[in-house]
């Protein structure tokens, strides 16, 4: 509703004319109930603003007996939200008032045309720049979410100029501040709190409409999803979209993060993170209802009745911002994206105009966006629209367009319908479960019957076996009884026979044969004891023989043990003699070392005395002249290549080197006087600049002394000069391996972490950059923190430091590329990408500093030559930098290398074809 304050008249949406606020309120309240009756016969989509309360507060009570086929009129609910002034607007518009004035208590908005004329508009809700995210959710989205839980479709949509807070209102995750959670997160919290995951289900799809193609944000490979319309009901569905079941809030937040990572965004003059696609979140809620049964129904009747379910779908649409090309500064591919966005928003505006004017034709098929939102405007969904505007008077035209879009949307009415149906699939599953249960029970009963038959059969067999055993036992007993009777009969016969024999013998004795019989009996009695004694003696002899054999075996065993003990003793004596000899050798070596240490102490004392004499001489003739002489030595050695060795004299440091000797110069690195150490390390650094001196310095222990200085001293001047000397020595491949073996990378990393002087950081970065150029040290350099230290030095921001960092990254990338192409040993992503170097490379790819730019361009080209890095480079935006290098780089060799890399990578070619970018 609009009001022209310049004329003092009010033009309401109902067409009535009022001159006071009280008259406006009474007109709205009295005319609201009449509008549905006037429009219901001609267009069911149209309803009055007053009918919004009925449509939004009582959807559940409107359910009819046929499962929700009857609908309820419900107007599109529109709220306006004002974004606070940005920092840029506070400066640019400091002398100008806001172009809008909000009156939230009466739900009005005033749009200033100029200093004396304003237009007034009424909305369902007016939210100031101070409105919290919670209040926005409660007044805009919560009624729609409650309707979805009751079985209605619902849509929540944000519309407005780019940079006015649409994504913040809908999709803010609230990771840093819980109060910043947007409508998507809060809606899912309410849904999870109201449903029972045991009987209900929640599933989510997350899509984007980019350049008139529907793409799956949860599966980026699924980038062309077809829109399917039911020819009977006209319902729109996306069967190819990924549908993920949600069980808790954490998994939902992870899905939102995944989708936001895949959504297209770009940097424009109006917004640094401008969405280049329309994001659509679809939440499908399926709830089972508990129905009451009559008391007379049987169990079978209850089991055959299908359960009642309600299906609600919540659609949250984060529209891409409308923009004017002249203000956003879009160009190239971003310009094509802006054109596509504006065309789809224009098609949406045409559909809303047609619905607001009750036109017979609504051009839903002009755009995929309007096809997807067909149910949201003029369909069966409850729709809530939040329009976002900015306060800046520079964008008064865009703000006016957004407000008029919201005003026209308030005239659109939907026929809200309850989505309630019988769940025959659930009934079928339940009957299948019951059938399976009955089949299992039948199988168990059959098994029990078979088991019982087997048991009876086994018992019968056991009884038969027992009877057979009893019969056999009885037969055996009868047989034994007859045998016993037979034996008894034989005994009786023998006894009778023996009695007869005795009787006969007695008769013979009586006849006079008594003498012969007595001799025979005495002979038998004397032989029996002799036989028993002989048998006893035989047993004793056998026992003694066995004991003798056992004793002989024990003696043999003891002899073997004694032999083994003697052998062990001999070997032990040999080992003891060897240890004695080793001990004597160690003692001799110790004595030699002690003598050498004493000699070194004597030499050190002599060097200290000579150093003291030299210092006294310097002090006597003027310390300033001596320091100046040493400084002049250093300055003359910095550019030795400019001098002609054949015509000029040797540099002063070279003379000092010949006169004093390298050992004495290195000994001064450990002097107590800090100035002496500083001058000494400068001399060593200048000597190390000449390749002819490097081997002598390393062999004399100069490298070890320089590393000790990094470890032991805290003087940043010494750190800077020592790091420069190490950088000079690191130009030699052999020295590079020695530096790594002696822990040089750890010392350089700790020096870089503690240094603040840009020149010190430049020296350290130069040393690490030289080490990065060694193919053999790639893995070890990275594992000991070399890459992390190199990236950590970018905090300085000095161009010289950044140039050395870029050189080191380029050297490392070149070695990786060479290893992957020649030996084929490289697998997976680059170590640089794993350590996070790619984001820094992309951020600094457009720097104006020539040295940094050249190394970064080379690093990008080398990284892109390995196919394993291609996907990550596309994700980080490095592919666009390669395209720019292939077109704009001033050096022909780098430009051709970038073009050759792009055309040889299948991943890059696929992405460029998808984005319709020509690199020929």
Contacts of residue 707, defined as CB under 8 A and 6 or more positions apart, other chains included, come to 726, 739, 742, 743, 744, 747
Q: What is the pLDDT of residue 861?
A: 87
Average the pLDDT over 348-363 and give the result: 92
Average the pLDDT over 211-226 and give the result: 92
Percentage of residues of the chain with pLDDT beyond 70: 78
Q: What is the pLDDT of residue 67?
A: 41
CA angle 363-369-371, nearest 5°? 50
Q: What is the pLDDT of residue 409?
A: 94
* Structure letter (DSSP) for residue 139: I
283, 332, 910 from 918: Cα distances, Å: 39, 12, 12
Question: 420 pLDDT exceeds 70?
Answer: yes
More confident: 895 or 369: 369
Percent helix, percent strand, percent coil in the chain, to nearest 5: 60, 10, 25
Contacts of residue 206, defined as CB under 8 A and 6 or more positions apart, other chains included, come to 216, 217, 218, 242, 255, 256, 258, 259, 279, 280, 281, 282
* Structure letter (DSSP) for residue 448: H
Give the position of tokens 């020592």: 722
Average the pLDDT over 400-424 and give the result: 88
d(CA 368, CA 420): 28
Q: What is the pLDDT of residue 467?
A: 87
Question: 54 pLDDT exceeds 60?
Answer: no
More confident: 689 or 47: 689
Question: 608 pLDDT exceeds 90?
Answer: no
Q: What is the pLDDT of residue 824?
A: 53
Helices (H), 668-777: 674-688, 691-699, 702-712, 716-729, 733-741, 744-754, 758-771
660-696 pLDDT, tens digit per residue, is 567 777 777 777 777 777 888 888 888 877 777 778 7
Which two structure tokens, joined as six digits, stand for 50? 């007053």
Question: 13 pLDDT exceeds 60?
Answer: no
Q: What is the pLDDT of residue 285?
A: 95
Nearest to 869 by CA among 899, 845, 894, 905: 905
Long-range contacts of 234-242 (CB under 8 A, 24+ apart): 234/374, 235/375, 236/371, 236/372, 236/374, 236/375, 238/205, 238/207, 238/214, 238/282, 240/216, 241/205, 241/207, 241/214, 241/216, 241/282, 242/205, 242/206, 242/216, 242/218
**Of 279-288, 454-463, 696-705, where does mean pLDDT reach its minimum?**
696-705
3-state secondary structure 519-546: HHHHHHHHHHHHHHHHHHHHHHHHHHHH
Question: 800 pLDDT exceeds 80?
Answer: yes
Question: 327 pLDDT exceeds 70?
Answer: no
727-752 pLDDT, tens digit per residue, is 888 887 888 888 888 888 888 888 88
- For residue 389, is it left (φ>0), alpha (ψ between -120 and 50) or beta? beta
What is the SS3 assignment for 382? strand
132-144 pLDDT, tens digit per residue, is 999 999 999 999 9
Percentage of residues of the chain with pLDDT beyond 90: 22
Contacts of residue 240, defined as CB under 8 A and 6 or more positions apart, other chains included, come to 216, 222, 225, 226
Average the pLDDT over 612-616 and give the result: 59
Nearest to 867 by CA among 902, 898, 917: 902
For the chain, what is the largest distance between any 2 Cα atoms, rounded to a whole number of angstroms? 185
- Residues in a beta bridge with 315: 155, 282
Average the pLDDT over 405-432 and give the result: 82
Q: Which pLDDT band, with edges at 50, 70 and 90, does 127 fall under?
A: very high
Contact 77, 384 (CB under 8 A): yes
Q: What is the pLDDT of residue 156?
A: 96
DSSP string covering 503-524: HHHHHHHHTT-HHHHHHHHHHH
841-859 pLDDT, tens digit per residue, is 888 888 888 888 888 888 8
Contacts of residue 914, defined as CB under 8 A and 6 or more positions apart, other chains included, come to 223
Q: What is the pLDDT of residue 882?
A: 85
174-205 pLDDT, tens digit per residue, is 888 999 999 999 999 999 999 988 888 999 99
Q: What is the pLDDT of residue 24?
A: 36
619-667 pLDDT, tens digit per residue, is 555 434 434 433 443 443 333 333 333 344 444 445 455 555 677 777 7
DSSP string covering 186-199: HHHHHHHHHS-TTT
Question: 162 pLDDT exceeds 70?
Answer: yes
More confident: 775 or 406: 406
Q: Which of 46-50, 518-522, 658-662 has the highest mean pLDDT?
A: 658-662
Q: Which of 65-74, 333-342, 393-402 has the highest mean pLDDT?
A: 393-402
Quickly count: other Cβ atoms within 10 Å of residue 671's Cβ.
17
Average the pLDDT over 410-431 and give the result: 80
Contact 276, 336 (CB under 8 A): no
């Amino acid at each position: 509703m609009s009001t022209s304050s310049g004329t003092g008249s009010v033009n309401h949406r109902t067409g009535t004319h009022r001159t006071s606020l009280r008259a406006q309120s009474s007109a709205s309240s009295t005319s609201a109930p009449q509008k549905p009756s006037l429009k219901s016969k001609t267009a069911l989509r149209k309803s009055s603003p007053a009918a919004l309360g009925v449509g939004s507060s009582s959807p559940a009570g409107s359910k009819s007996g046929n499962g929700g086929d009857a609908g309820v009129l419900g107007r599109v609910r529109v709220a306006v939200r004002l974004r606070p002034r940005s920092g840029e607007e506070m400066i640019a518009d400091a002398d100008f008032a806001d172009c809008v004035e909000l009156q939230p208590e009466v739900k009005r908005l005033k749009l200033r045309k100029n200093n004396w004329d304003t237009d007034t508009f009424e909305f369902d809700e007016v939210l100031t720049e101070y409105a919290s995210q919670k209040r926005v959710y409660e007044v805009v989205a919560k009624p729609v979410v409650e309707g979805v839980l009751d079985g209605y479709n619902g849509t929540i949509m944000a519309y407005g100029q780019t940079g006015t807070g649409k994504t913040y209102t809908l999709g803010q995750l609230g990771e840093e501040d819980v109060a910043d959670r947007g409508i998507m997160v809060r809606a899912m919290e309410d849904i999870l709190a109201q449903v029972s995951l045991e009987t209900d289900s929640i599933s989510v799809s997350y899509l984007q409409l980019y350049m008139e193609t529907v793409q799956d944000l949860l599966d980026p490979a699924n980038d062309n999803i077809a829109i399917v319309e039911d020819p009977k009901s006209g319902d729109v569905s996306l069967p190819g979209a990924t549908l993920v079941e949600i069980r808790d809030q954490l998994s939902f937040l992870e899905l939102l993060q995944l989708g936001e990572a895949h959504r297209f965004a770009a940097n424009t003059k109006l917004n640094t993170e401008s969405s280049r696609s329309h994001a659509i979140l679809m939440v499908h809620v399926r709830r089972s209802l508990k129905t009451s049964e009559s008391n007379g129904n049987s169990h079978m009747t209850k089991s055959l009745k299908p359960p009642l379910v309600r299906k609600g779908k919540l659609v949250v649409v984060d529209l891409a911002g409308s923009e004017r090309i002249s203000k956003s500064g879009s160009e190239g591919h971003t310009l094509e994206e802006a054109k596509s966005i504006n065309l789809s928003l224009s098609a949406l505006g045409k559909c809303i105009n047609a619905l607001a004017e009750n036109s017979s034709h609504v051009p839903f098929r002009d755009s995929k966006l309007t096809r997807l939102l067909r149910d949201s405007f003029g369909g069966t969904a409850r729709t809530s629209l939040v329009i976002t505007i900015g306060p800046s008077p520079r964008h008064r035209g865009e703000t006016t367009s957004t407000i008029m879009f919201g005003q026209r949307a308030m005239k659109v009415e939907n026929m809200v319908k309850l989505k309630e149906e019988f769940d025959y699939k659930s009934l079928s599953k339940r009957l299948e479960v019951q059938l399976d249960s009955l089949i299992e029970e039948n199988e168990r009963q059959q098994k029990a019957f078979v088991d019982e038959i087997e048991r009876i059969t086994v018992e019968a067999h056991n009884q038969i076996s027992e009877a057979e055993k009893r019969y056999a036992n009885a037969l055996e007993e009868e047989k034994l009884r007859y045998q016993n009777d037979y034996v008894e009969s034989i005994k009786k016969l023998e006894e009778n026979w023996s009695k007869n024999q005795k009787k006969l013998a007695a008769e013979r004795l009586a006849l006079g044969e008594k003498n012969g019989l007595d001799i025979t009996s005495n002979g038998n009695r004397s032989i029996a004891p002799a036989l028993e004694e002989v048998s006893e003696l035989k047993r004793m002899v056998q026992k003694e023989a066995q004991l003798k054999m056992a004793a002989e075996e024990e003696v043999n065993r003891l002899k073997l043990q004694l032999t083994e003990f003697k052998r062990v003793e001999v070997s032990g004596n040999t080992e003891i003699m060897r240890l004695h000899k080793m001990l004597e050798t160690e003692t001799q070596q110790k004595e030699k070392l002690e003598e050498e240490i004493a000699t070194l102490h004597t030499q050190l004392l002599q060097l200290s005395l000579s150093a003291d004499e030299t210092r006294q001489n310097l002090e006597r003739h003027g310390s300033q002249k001596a320091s100046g002489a040493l400084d002049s030595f250093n300055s003359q050695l910095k550019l030795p290549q400019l001098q002609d060795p054949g015509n000029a004299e040797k540099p002063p440091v070279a003379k000092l080197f010949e006169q004093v000797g390298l050992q004495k110069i290195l000994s001064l690195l450990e002097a107590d006087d800090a100035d002496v150490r500083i001058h000494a390390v400068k001399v060593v650094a200048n000597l190390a600049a000449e390749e002819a001196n490097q081997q002598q310095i390393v062999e004399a222990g100069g490298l070890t002394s320089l590393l000790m200085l990094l470890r032991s001293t805290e003087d940043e001047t010494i750190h800077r000069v020592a790091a420069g000397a190490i950088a000079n020595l690191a130009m030699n491949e052999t020295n590079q391996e020695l530096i790594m073996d002696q822990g040089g990378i750890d010392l350089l990393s700790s020096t870089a972490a503690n240094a603040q002087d840009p020149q010190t950081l430049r020296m350290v970065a130069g040393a690490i950059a030289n080490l990065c150029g060694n193919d053999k040290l790639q893995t070890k350099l990275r594992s000991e923190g070399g890459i992390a230290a190199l990236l950590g030095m970018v905090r300085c921001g000095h161009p010289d430091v950044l140039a050395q960092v870029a050189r080191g990254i380029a050297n490392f990338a070149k070695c990786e590329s060479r290893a992957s192409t020649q030996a084929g040993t490289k697998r997976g992503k680059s170590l640089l990408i794993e350590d996070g170097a790619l984001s820094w490379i992309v951020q600094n790819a457009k720097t104006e500093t020539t040295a940094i730019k050249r190394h970064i361009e080379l690093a990008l080209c080398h990284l892109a030559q390995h196919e394993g890095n291609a996907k990550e480079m596309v994700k980080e935006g490095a592919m666009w930098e390669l395209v720019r290098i292939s077109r704009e780089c001033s050096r022909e060799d780098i430009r051709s290398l970038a073009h050759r890399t792009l055309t040889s990578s299948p991943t890059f070619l696929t992405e460029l074809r998808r984005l319709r970018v020509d690199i020929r």
